[in-house]
Structures are given as C-alpha cells and as structure tokens.
Amino acid sequence: MAAQLLPLVNSNNNHGIPILFCYSVFARPTSVPLGAGYEVLIQKFLSLYGDQIDIHRKFVIQLYSDEWGQYIDLPKGFVISEKCKLRLVPLQVQMTVLGNLTPSTTAFFCCDMQERFRPAIKYFGDIISVSQRLLQGARILGIPVIFTEQYPKGLGSTVQELDLSGAKLVLPKTKFSMVLPEVEAALAEIPGIHSVVLFGVETHVCIQQTALDLIGRGLEVHIVADATSSRSMMDRMFALERLARTGIIITTSEAILLQLVADKDHPKFKEVQNLIKASAPESGLLSKV
C-alpha cells in the first residue's frame, strides 16, 4: 500500500510529503506534512479545488492501492507516511432530512406579504390568516422573524394585518430571493440557526428562489404550504412538488407550531394551543391532494 497507518507521529517532523490529489478529471500535485490525517486532507482538497467543489455535499477520500490496482476508502485513523495518490469522491446517495425544529435554532422568513398582491394571489386572505398565527407563535417562542418587501415603492408595504413589531429585519428588495447580504448578516448575528421556516408569496418565484438559496448555504428549509400561494394554483402546486423533491420540507402551520413546543408540558404550550384551536383554512390545498 502506498501509505501506512502510523500509531505515533513525531510532531517535530514538518517535512512535506508529495501527494497527487485527484478530483473529477483534474489531478494536482501538492504536499502535506508527515502525519496529516483526514481533516488536513479535506482542507487541502478545498484549497486546491474550492472553485469546483460544492462544500455542502458529502465526500469520501480514497487512496490508490498498488496491491489492489484501484482506489480504496481511507481506513479509520489513516495518516500520511509516504508519497501517495488520493482522490475525492462526492457521495451520490441523497441524505435523509429529519426536519427537527427547536426554537433556539430556527428563524422565520415572511416573504413579500404586500398590499398590492391582495387582489391577485389565490386565497390571499387565508394566507394572511395563517401567517398571523405563525407570527404570533414566533413571538410566544422568541423566534426571530425576517420580513422582506418586493419593490415596496411600487407594490406597497406589508399588509396591516401582519404585525412587524419585534421583527429582526424588515428589508425592501428587488431581487426575488430573500437571501440578500443584509439577511445573511442578520442570520449571522443569531448563533446556532440551522433551520428556516419560510412562508409568503409567490410560491413559484420568491419562495422557491429563497428556499433554493437557503439550502445552497447549508440551511434546512421548511415551507409552510398553507401560508404560501401564487396567482395561479398550477404554479403554486408544481413549485411545492419541485421543492419537495430537492429535500425541502413541505409542511403545515399547525405541524410547525406543535413541533416547536414538542411537549404538552412546555411552558408555552397553552399559548400555542390557543393559536390552533380552530383548524387553519385549507386555502385550496385539499382539492389538489
């Protein structure tokens, strides 16, 4: 084998060992310190191929074995002891998204719920109603909320039924996606956020593009189906179907709120329960199931 397991590495030996790194059709020679392990190798791969690697994917590093005449997975505890040839292989298996939610790791995104959309969006009154209960739940549970408004100069402000007080950010935009530098900076100020609950309009435009941008940044996305709509039910339903296939979680407002409290003994359970005593309006979804 071209490299060996070393039970002990002399930390004073910093000599670089020649390595040939292979990724896709590209092979690049470099060197790593004697005793370099998995983490060092990953960082070296990223430094060499960073413009070609999707860092949100899962990878395995393999070693070329003269004995087998092919690449084999690195054994546990592997460290570099001599010149060798390594390759980085993206895993093709889609990882299951569990979709767990906790208030301390979740942010709510309310997208473009503006007055000028009222006459055009299907079931807009229902979407406002469900958005209200989500925002009330966020306030009860201390979950940060980010609002955007699409070109408010021409399309008006957020509808009066939705309370913007206490919002982490209310941001005008012209880009369809909510993922703007100001939004990313606001998220960075909240430690531990890894899930976003997303709702608003339109499902096939701003919601879809926001969701894809968020998962591209490694965040888990939950779209509230009964709190998002479009001018066309066809656009709405095909967008939800497409997003579900990408690993984005399509769910409902009641499921979100009860998942966030998780236990009838949660100190805020009664307040959240009051929000969902009446079932949410189905807003045309049941006829499409």
Known catalytic residues? 112, 173, 206
| Residue among 268, 211, 217 nearest 225 (CA) | 211
Check: CB of residue 98 under 8 Å from CB of residue 133.
no
* Angstrom distance (rounded) from CA 273 to CA 25: 56
Gap between the Cα atoms of 50 and 182, Å rounded: 25
Distance CA 138, CA 257 (A): 9
Half-sphere exposure of 219 (CA within 13 A, CB side): 25
Element containing residue 185 per DSSP (H, E):
helix 181-188
Which residues 6+ apart lie within 8 Å of 98 measured at CB? none
